[in-house]
Amino acid sequence: NAGVTQTPKFQVLKTGQSMTLQCAQDMNHEYMSWYRQDPGMGLRLIHYSVGAGITDQGEVPNGYNVSRSTTEDFPLRLLSAAPSQTSVYFCASSYSSSGRETQYFGPGTRLLVL
């Protein structure tokens, strides 16, 4: 199993540009989530999904969209990038949405918005 994969590893955007951060898992996990990591702020939940076709907002959803058309994929879209979205983004997945299971994290995407 490849586990949780994220692409790209690093991206530079200009303010106002759009992009999609890709996340995929091959473990047939129901639950997937996106976090951003900022110095002094820890990990903050952006959006999460408890299964295909179901998404919900986390702690900091503004400026981000998600969709979950398949179990495997959970892309994160920035429609109009802002410098405040400069961060490291982590995708995670777990077997179910019960909350009891361990989350598996991807390697992260480092995003710089100029």
Partner 1 sequence: AQSVAQPEDQVNVAEGNPLTVKCTYSVSGNPYLFWYVQYPNRGLQFLLKYITGDNLVKGSYGFEAEFNKSQTSFHLKKPSALVSDSALYFCAVRDMRGDDKIIFGKGTRLHILP
Closer CB to partner 1, residue 2 or residue 14? 2
User: CB of 45: closest distance to partner 1 in angstroms?
Assistant: 6
User: CB of 98: closest distance to partner 1 in angstroms?
Assistant: 9
Q: Which positions touch partner 1 (CB under 8 A)?
A: 4, 31, 33, 35, 40-45, 48, 50, 56, 58-59, 90, 92, 97, 99-100, 102-108
| CB of 104 closer than 8 Å to CB of 90 | no
CA distance 95 to 8: 24
Closer CB to partner 1, residue 14 or residue 39? 39
Rounded to a whole number of angstroms, the distance between the first and last alpha carbons of the chain is 36
**Tokens 């590893």 belong to residue:** 9
User: CB of 23: closest distance to partner 1 in angstroms?
Assistant: 12
Closer CB to partner 1, residue 58 or residue 75? 58
User: CB of 17: closest distance to partner 1 in angstroms?
Assistant: 25
Closer CB to partner 1, residue 35 or residue 74? 35
Q: Where are the beta strands (DSSP E) in 1-114?
A: 4-7, 10-13, 19-25, 31-38, 42-51, 54-57, 64-66, 76-78, 87-94, 104-105, 109-113
